[in-house]
Amino acid sequence: MGVVRQTRESNMELLRIVSMLMVLLLHANFLVFGTPTVADATCQPVATFIRLFFESVSIVGVNLFVFISGWYGIKAKLRRIAAFLFQVFFFVAVCYGAEVMVLGTNTFSFSYLFHLLRMDSYWFAQAYLILYVLSPALNKFIEHSQHRDHLLLLISLFVVQTVFGWLGNEWYRGDGDSPLTFLFIYLLAAYVRRYSLLQSFSSGRLLFMAFGVILVGSLLAFGMSVFDHRLVSLFYKHTSPLVLIEVTLVGVAFSKFHFRSQAINFVAASCFAVYLLNCYPASLDYYIHTVREWFGREPVGCFVIYVSVFVLANFLVALLIDQPRIAIWNFIQKQLDYKRQSK
């Protein structure tokens, strides 16, 4: 009798999909129009608040992606690092090749290719790769540390990233786009799971609490925007305490769902591809230009519909492009396994 392979649970895989949709939404807001100014808040208060609210919803997307890694723990292997780099290089090759050979919007340059392969345009990939390399040491600490030691390390990292990341310092990368932030979130997720924090709350209550945090953050940001738009950015950094609270509440809420779906797992396997396509320089420029053009030309209702469809289309295109990459990588793995077995 053959062994029946059970589909893994899909709750956190669904969260992975949601987090990447949040990233696409994030890139269609402040990145396109800038942070709301005093004039925006004064002359268009409703529209400004809506923008702030959706930025509060979507700013957690990146952190949620890392939270999931910390929740399960990264199982670092050389082959998995190779798979990660192969996916990055595959999308660089596809996008740059399309620019040069198909669209004719760029010319080939070894220096620019090196810039792309070094992942200069992919800060998330750089930071996540560093987290991946450090994960074995982090996992040993998580497994063997006492409750007090784990908590003290979290508090220490929180203080460092709050002072130098949230309140601003160039060496930290002020918005929290830093491996230190990823390290903190990884350890935070592990701590929350290990010591069963928030488990007494239902998933519905946790999501309601997250909504409350989003609403409070939006209201505070709106209040700040009336006086000085530069203060608004404090609520939209990956190191913001409110953002970290929202990430924790949403992450734990999704962990309490229990269901299996092959379709969700299939889509979630290509979520990183969505980021790689969207954040490729030419793709991101096109994304920003398109959203900005629609905003200036279309009625509000049409604009919302167009952007929603555009976000889903970007997700779908990345999913389709990623399928050959998966097939090629699976073929490479089979060849490596065959050679190893034949020795």
Rounded CA-CA distance 142/152 in Å is: 12
With a pLDDT cut of 70, the percent of the chain lying above it is 95
Mean pLDDT of the chain: 90
Across residues 257-274, what is the average pLDDT? 95
pTM over 0.85: yes
**pLDDT per position as a tens digit, 13-62:** 999 999 999 999 999 999 898 888 888 888 888 989 999 999 999 999 99
**pLDDT per position as a tens digit, 251-261:** 999 999 999 99
Q: Is pLDDT at 9 greater than 80 in this prediction?
A: yes
Rounded CA-CA distance 73/140 in Å is: 11
Rounded CA-CA distance 193/190 in Å is: 5
Q: Is pLDDT at 3 greater than 50 in this prediction?
A: no
pLDDT at position 113:
87
**pLDDT per position as a tens digit, 96-138:** 999 999 888 888 888 988 888 888 889 999 999 999 999 999 9
Q: For residue 335, which of 76, 5, 79, 94 has the smallest C-alpha distance?
A: 79
Angle value at C-alpha 271, between 303 and 239, nearest 5 degrees: 80
With a pLDDT cut of 90, the percent of the chain lying above it is 69
Residues ≥6 apart with Cβ < 8 Å to 122: 88, 275, 276, 279
Q: Is pLDDT at 340 greater than 80 in this prediction?
A: no
